[in-house]
Amino acid sequence: MPTVRSAAVAGAFYPGDPRVLDAQLGELMGAVENGAPRFGFPKAVIVPHAGYIYSGPVAAQAFDKLVAARGVVKRVVLLGPVHRVPVRGLALPGADQFETPLGRIPIDADAVRAVADLPQVVTSAPAHALEHSLEVQLPFLQRVLGQFSLVPFAVGSAGVAEVAAVIERLWGGSETIIVLSTDLSHYHRYDEARRIDGATVERIAGFATDLDHDEACGATPLNGLLHVAAAKGLSIEPLAACNSGDTAGDRQRVVGYSAFALYESGEVSQDEVGRTLVGIARGAIGHRLGHAAEPPRVDRPAWLAQTGASFVTLTIEGGLRGCIGSLQAHRPLGADVAANAENAAFRDPRFAPLTGAEWPRVEAEVSLLTAPRRVRFSDEVDLLVKLRPGVDGVILEHGGRRGTFLPQVWESLPDRRRFIEELKRKAGLPADTRLVHCNVWCYQVLKWRQSDFASH
């Protein structure tokens, strides 16, 4: 029978009921505002580890960056400080699985063997038994990544080089990410904490490796990660910072929180992404029409394996000829584009199947969607004010009926009120349906037309 490290702080730091926990995670992740649509994901993130009501909004900023990693990342190396049981070195739990209310996560046995010869790597079940700094990250990771294996280190007394050696040994490729768990200063008054933490955030962003535990409780593993990140030339993006006085605590004795994302160089360019996705869309349709002997490769390069949501739009001389897509990422991006291209060409119920005679005149456009975010509004006027013409794609749902317009539709429907009226019609809703009874989500897109690459 496998040995299991059971959840120790479920019901205290985060909900113990899986349905309530999933709902809270949804609220935290849904509250992260979409920035510019992006592609790729960090190699490492730095996240806080207090109760979700205190540090959850900050942690969500980092985990949101890992949404694109689903389907690619198979292993998470998780490091956090010990709070209850002192230990010398970096302690593994000696268990086969970690458990949360959302299920069990297997310990990566190959990774454990890979570091077994390092003297600073030890086994200590007591160090892990009640430790919250690692456990609170797991439900976020389960929601964002789905299936993965775990390499959890409860870090006690260790030098920068000792921590760095473990991280180096497990660095891996795109299948591996590093999650570093740390809070900032503890129990200062609000204004003093802001001053201290502001300086610490600057030091982290500058790859300092001499942080102390008054600045960050996870300074020991953090210094090691920053040492490796600087040596490998990673870039670092500060995402958020606040303290418990900004969330659910008073301002007399606060704890500081911050989140960062660290990226390796050589990230795929938007031009490369667009060229590849348009090529897949055209290749899938061309193969179905008999113009290509083989279907397009949808698993190479490796980034096509990450889950993604796409729309494929086909036009002939500017007129719509088909448009089908995915509103939620649910399969590898390459496969999603290929399937949506075929559906747009041959299964859009508004049009007859595309013919070989039409094919030379077709232009394909691929849109890559961000995760939809729920729009909270009080009435129709409030909703219309919050919509951003030319920026937001909109999903409208009521009574089991749903429709969406991509941001590109604003070009032909620039008036907000008419845009929504036409979206009601597309969703099959009566014209007098009150918007306050509807659910509304917004998303943004990166889009590429076939003609964008015609002269390249």
Tell me the per-residue pLDDT of 330-342, one tens digit each, with 9 for 90 and over.
899 999 999 999 9
408/314 Cα distance (integer angstroms): 13
In a 3-state reduction of DSSP, which class is residue 308? Answer: coil
Cβ-proximal residues to 165 (8 Å cutoff; 6+ apart), any chain:
118, 120
331 and 195 housed in the same domain? no
CB under 8 Å to 443, separation ≥6 — which residues? Answer: 34, 327, 369, 370, 371, 372, 373, 392, 393, 395
**Last residue in a domain, options 199, 232, 263:** 263
Q: Say whether both 77 and 63 belong to one domain.
A: yes
> Contact at 8 Å (CB) between 136 and 47?
no
Mean pLDDT of 124-141: 98
Judgement on whether residues 364 and 388 belong to the same structural domain of the protein: no
Q: State residue 349's pLDDT score.
A: 95
Structure tokens, 87: 């230990």
Verdict on whether the full-model pTM lies above 0.75: yes
pLDDT in tens, 401-436: 999 999 999 999 999 999 999 999 999 999 999 999
Which of 52, 31, 448 is CA-nearest to residue 273? 448
> Residues 398, 308, 58, CA angle at the centre, nearest 5°?
80
Distance CA 47, CA 144 (A): 14
Number of domains in the chain: 3
For 63, the 3-state DSSP assignment is helix
Range of the domain at 415: 373-445
156 part of a folded domain: yes
Last residue of a domain, one of 247, 263, 279: 263
The overall average pLDDT reported for the chain is: 95
pLDDT exceeds cutoff 80 at 268:
no
What does the pLDDT average to over 163-168? 98
Output the CA–CA distances (angstroms, integers) from residue 166 to 89, 227, 386, 456, in the order listed: 11, 12, 48, 45
Instruction: Tell me the average pLDDT across 93-113.
Output: 98
Q: What is the mean pLDDT of residues 62-75?
A: 91
Among residues 270, 253, 237, the alpha carbon closest in space to that of 446 is found at 270
* pLDDT for the residue numbered 420: 97
Contact indicator for 242, 58 with CB cutoff of 8 Å: yes
Contact call for residues 305 and 334 (beta carbons, < 8 A): yes
Same domain, 130 and 90: yes
Q: With a cut of 50, say whether residue 369 has pLDDT above it.
A: yes
Strand order in the sheet with 319-325: 319-325, 310-316, 362-369, 445-449
Q: What is the pLDDT of residues 40-51, one digit of tens each?
A: 789 999 999 999
The mean per-residue pLDDT over the stretch 385-412 comes to: 96
Question: In 3D, which of 75, 65, 90 has the Cα closest to residue 236?
Answer: 65
Could you tell me if 206 and 351 lie in one domain?
no
| CATH classification of the domain holding 222 | 3.40.830.10
pLDDT exceeds 50 at position 379: yes
Does residue 379 fall inside a structural domain?
yes
**Statement: residue 159 has pLDDT above 70:** yes
Co-location of 284 and 249 in the same domain? no
Q: Report the alpha-carbon distance of residue 193 to residue 146 in Å, rounded.
A: 36
- 357 and 399 both lie in a single domain: no
- Which two tokens mark 60? 């969500």
Within this chain, do residues 258 and 310 fall inside the same structural domain, yes or no? no
Give the H/E segment covering residue 165: helix 160-169
Alpha-carbon distance 41 to 267, whole Å?
A: 9
In a domain, 85, yes or no: yes
Q: 404, 311 in Cβ contact below 8 A? A: no
Q: Which residue did the predictor score with more confidence, 371 or 171?
A: 171
Of the chain, the percentage scoring pLDDT greater than 70 comes to 98
Neighbouring-strand partners of residue 170: none
Model confidence at 323: pLDDT above 90: yes
Q: How far is it, in rounded angstroms, from Cα 199 to Cα 212?
A: 13
Q: What is the pLDDT of residue 456?
A: 42
Q: Are residues 52 and 200 in the same domain?
A: yes
Q: Is cis: bond before 301, omega within 30 of 0?
A: yes
Two tokens, residue 383 = 């909703």
**Is the pLDDT at 267 greater than 80, yes or no?**
no
Q: Which whole number is the average pLDDT over 8-30?
A: 96
Q: Name the strand (E) or helix (H) holding 440.
A: strand 439-443
Residues 341 and 421 in one domain: no
250 with 323, same domain? no
- Asked whether the beta carbons of 389 and 410 are under 8 A apart, the reply is yes
* Res 39: pLDDT: 64
User: In whole angstroms, what is the distance from residue 408 CA to residue 197 CA?
Assistant: 42
DSSP output for 318-361: TEEEEEEE-SS--SBHHHHHHHHHHHHHHT-TTSPPP-TTTGGG
Boundary-marking domain end, from 228, 263, 298: 263
Distance of CA 373 to the CA centre of its chain: 13
CA proximity to 347, closest of 367, 323, 368: 323
Asked whether residue 452 is domain-assigned, the answer is no
Residue 346's alpha-carbon distances to 288, 292, 405, in angstroms, are 9, 17, 20
